[in-house]
Amino acid sequence: RKARSGSRRRRHWERCSCRLTRTDSDVQVLVLPTPDTAALAVAGFLAQTLRRAPDVVLGLPTGRTMIPVYRGLVRLHESGLADFSRATTFNLDEFTGLPPGHPGSFRAYMRQHLFDHVNLPRGAAHFPRSARTKGSAYDRLIERAGGLDMCLVGIGRNGHIGFNEPASALTAETHRVKLKAATRRSNAYLYGDRPEKVPKFAMSMGIGTILRARAVILLALGAAKAEIVRAATTGPVTARVPASLLQTHPN
C-alpha cells in the first residue's frame, strides 16, 4: 500500500491501535479504542492463559464491564480456543442473605454469562460464603487450590475493587462488607434497576487476597471511569482508592 503521510498515519494509529504505557510503578496501562476491543483483548488473554496453563486458578469478577468479556470467552470456547475442563475459579464477591439460586446473586450472573456456556466442571467454581463460614476460610480454600494465578477485576467509580470500598484502612482477607449506597446503585441492574432491592451486605475477597494473585488484570470501560483509572494507576497509593494498591503488585 502507498505510504500515508506521517500525520495521517499517526491519526490512524491513535484511532485504531492500542497504546501501552508504563507508569512509575509496575502497572502497565493498555488503552484500546472501543469497549468491545478492550473486552475482547481481555477475553483473548484469558483464553491464551487457559491454553498455556489448562489447570489455571482464576479470580473472577462480575459487573456490567465483564459481560462483553464473558461473551467473548464463550465465543472462544465455542471455537475450541478456551477449554475450562481443568480450570478452577474463585469469584471475588457475593451478596449475603440471598436464598440459593436467587437471580440477583453473582452466582446466577456467572451462570448466565459464563458457566452455563463453557465446560467448567461442576464444583470448580467457588464463591465466598457468609453462612457461618469465616471469610478467611475462603483464603485458605484459595491457598489449597494453589493460589490465584490470575485475578481479573473491575473498578468502581469510587476506586473499589471487589467490594473493598474506600476506607481509612483495608481488610486483607475475605470479609463481610456493608455496601455503600453508590455501590448498591451500581448493582441495581441485577434487581430491575431498584437499588433498594440490592442486599446491604456482601462477602468480598480482601485486598490481600487480590494482591496475592500472581497476576492482576483490571478492566475499565468508558469515559466515566477515566478519572478513577488515572487516580488508581498514577496517583498516591492509598486505602481511599483501593485499586491504587495494585501499584504495589509486580505483575
- Where do contacts with ligand PGA occur on this chain (CB under 6 A)? 63-65, 154-156, 186
Q: How many whole angstroms separate alpha carbon 94 and alpha carbon 159?
A: 18
Nearest residue to ligand PGA on Cβ basis: 63
By beta-carbon proximity to ligand PGA, the closer residue of 24 and 196 is 196
Give the helix, strand, coil percentages of the chain, each rounded to 5. 40, 15, 45
Compare residues 124 and 225 and give the one whose CB is closer to ligand PGA. Answer: 225
- Distance separating alpha carbons of residues 213 and 166, to the nearest angstrom: 21
Shortest Å distance, C-beta 218 to ligand PGA: 9
Q: What is the dihedral of CA 228, 232, 237, 241, to 10 degrees?
A: 40
Let me know if 149 is a catalytic residue. no
Least distance in Å: CB of 197 to ligand PGA?
A: 16
In total, the chain counts a number of residues equal to: 251
- Residue 93 a catalytic site member: yes
Cell 485486598 belongs to residue: 207
Catalytic residue of the set 94, 139, 149, 165: 165
Taking the complex as a whole, the smallest distance from the CB of residue 222 to ligand PGA amounts, in Å, to 8
CA–CA distance, 220 with 170 (Å, rounded to integer): 22
Nearer to ligand PGA, 124 or 170 (CB): 170
Q: Which of 93, 94, 139, 149 is catalytic?
A: 93
Among candidate residues 83, 102, 117, 158, the one labeled active-site is: 158
Phi, psi dihedrals of residue 157, rounded to the nearest 5°: -65, -15
Active site positions, annotated: 93, 158, 160, 165
